[in-house]
Amino acid sequence: MEPKIGGVYRHFKGNLYEVKAVAKHSETLEKMVVYQALYGDNETFVRPLDSFMSKVDKVKYPDAAQEYRFEEVKANDTPDIDPMVMQFLETEDFEEKFSILNGLRYKITKDQIAVMAMSLDVTIDDSDVEDMYRQLKTCVDTRRRFETTRLR
């Protein structure tokens, strides 16, 4: 089994990551998971697929709450992530993303904007929440209007 591309996963130590790709090592052909942190500097990491999907070593980490090293996070699984933000991350439809963003208008935080922007591979200037929200909304609106008509 492979992780879902674009899926958000919680590491057993608590941090959240988005899976960007499953790739092959150029020499060994071993499958690797490319994933990006949804916190801090949003660093990107690579780990062998077997390790990514492995169970937590309960001898080394007896207090770990999760069974697996990385477990997919669903919108209703975690109280610390707004379900609307999870919906935004999970949908591919820019019309829906735009609608969700409008619904978050008066309760959105800088951290939520940063996570949503990162999921779209865009950079939002760090300023006040209002300006960051406007930047993200403009980006989503542009993609909503033009991405669906682009030839693939």
User: What is the tens place of the pLDDT at every residue in 3-18?
Assistant: 999 888 999 988 889 9
Interval 127-146 mean pLDDT:
91
In the chain, what are the domain boundaries?
8-72, 83-149
State yes or no: pLDDT of 125 exceeds 90: no
**pTM more than 0.85:** no
- The Cα–Cα gap between 14 and 72 comes to 12
Q: Which residue has the higher pLDDT, 106 or 47?
A: 47
Could you write out the DSSP letters of every residue in 66-119? -SBSEEEPPTTT-TTS-HHHHHHHH---HHHHHHHHHHTTTT--HHHHHHHHHH
The chain-wide mean pLDDT, for the chain, equals 87
Q: If you average pLDDT over each of 47-56, 98-107, 128-137, which comes out highest?
A: 47-56
Output the CATH code of domain 8-72: 2.30.30.320
